[in-house]
Chains A and B, each alone.
Chain A
C-alpha cells in the first residue's frame, strides 16, 4: 500500500508540468524513502531524474516497494482538476492497476476523487552514477529560463563557456549572434538572486536549444537552478524540491 499526501497539490502539478512534454509516460518507483523516477525522452538526449523524498509529504507510507506506470498527459489532466492549494493524496494498492487521486479543499467541505489507469511500462534505465564536475553555476531559475528563451531566437544551439569569473551564454545563427555574460554576485538581502560559479576546469559546451526549452519548464519548482558541467559530458540541470530534486541530464552537441 502506497499513500502520500501533499500539503499542496501545486507541487505535484509543477513536477508533472516540468516532465510531461519531455516524456509521455514513466514509472514512479515508490519505496519507504519516497518516490523516484528515471525517464529518457524519445530521442535519448535528455534524461529526467526525479526524487520526491518522504519528508516532502505531509503524510507518507509505502509498505512494499511498488512501481506505478503513469501516463503523464493523463495525470496532468486529472491533477489540473484540483486547486493549487488543495491537499492532494495519491494512493495505490500493492498490485494496483490504478492510482487513486484525492483532492481536499482546505476551506470548503469538498473532496474530489479520481482514479488513473496505470500502464505497464518497459523502461530500460541508464546507469547515471556519480559524475565528476568541472564547473558549477547556480543562478536564479527565472534568469536561466530567460537566457534560454532569448538565445533560442537565434540558434538551435546554445554554447556555454565558463571561466573563473564568468559564464558566457552564446548563440550564433543565420540572423546574427547573441552573448549574455553573468558573473558571481552575492545578494545578502535577496539570497535567491545570488549567482555563484565554481570552477576546476574551464568549460566550453553546446546544447540543443529545444531540449533547454523543455528543461526550463521546471522553473516554477525552484527559485534557483544549479548547472553542473563537465568537459565532453552531459550537462546536469538541477531544480531542488523542498526535499528532493528534479534533475535533467542533457547530452551535449559536438563539432562534426
Chain B
C-alpha cells in the first residue's frame, strides 16, 4: 500500500 505524504514535506512556511 502507499503512504500519503504531506505538503509540509515539500513547501516551507512563509
Contact = CB atoms under 8 A, between A and B. Distances in A.
Nearest to A41: B7
B3 to A, nearest CB: 5
Interface in B1-14: 1-14
A126 B14 CA distance: 5
A52 B9 CA distance: 28
A126 B2 contact: no
A198 B2 CA distance: 27
A251 interface: yes
A126 B12 contact: yes
A157 interface: yes
Given A206-B2, A253-B2, A255-B2, A127 B13 contact: yes
Interface residues of A, number: 24
B7 A157 contact: no
| SS class, residues of chain B in contact with chain A | mixed
Interface in A89-103: none
A40 B14 contact: no
Contact of A44 (B2, B3, B6, B14): B6
A251 B13 contact: no
A163 to B, nearest CB: 21
A127 B11 contact: yes
Nearest to A206: B2
B2 to A, nearest CB: 4
A189 interface: no
28 contacts: A40-B7, A43-B6, A44-B6, A44-B7, A47-B11, A125-B13, A126-B7, A126-B8, A126-B12, A126-B14, A127-B11, A127-B12, A127-B13, A127-B14, A128-B11, A129-B11, A157-B2, A208-B4, A233-B10, A249-B7, A251-B5, A251-B9, A251-B10, A253-B2, A253-B4, A253-B5, A254-B5, A255-B3
Interface of A: 40, 43-47, 124-129, 157, 206, 208, 233-234, 249, 251-256
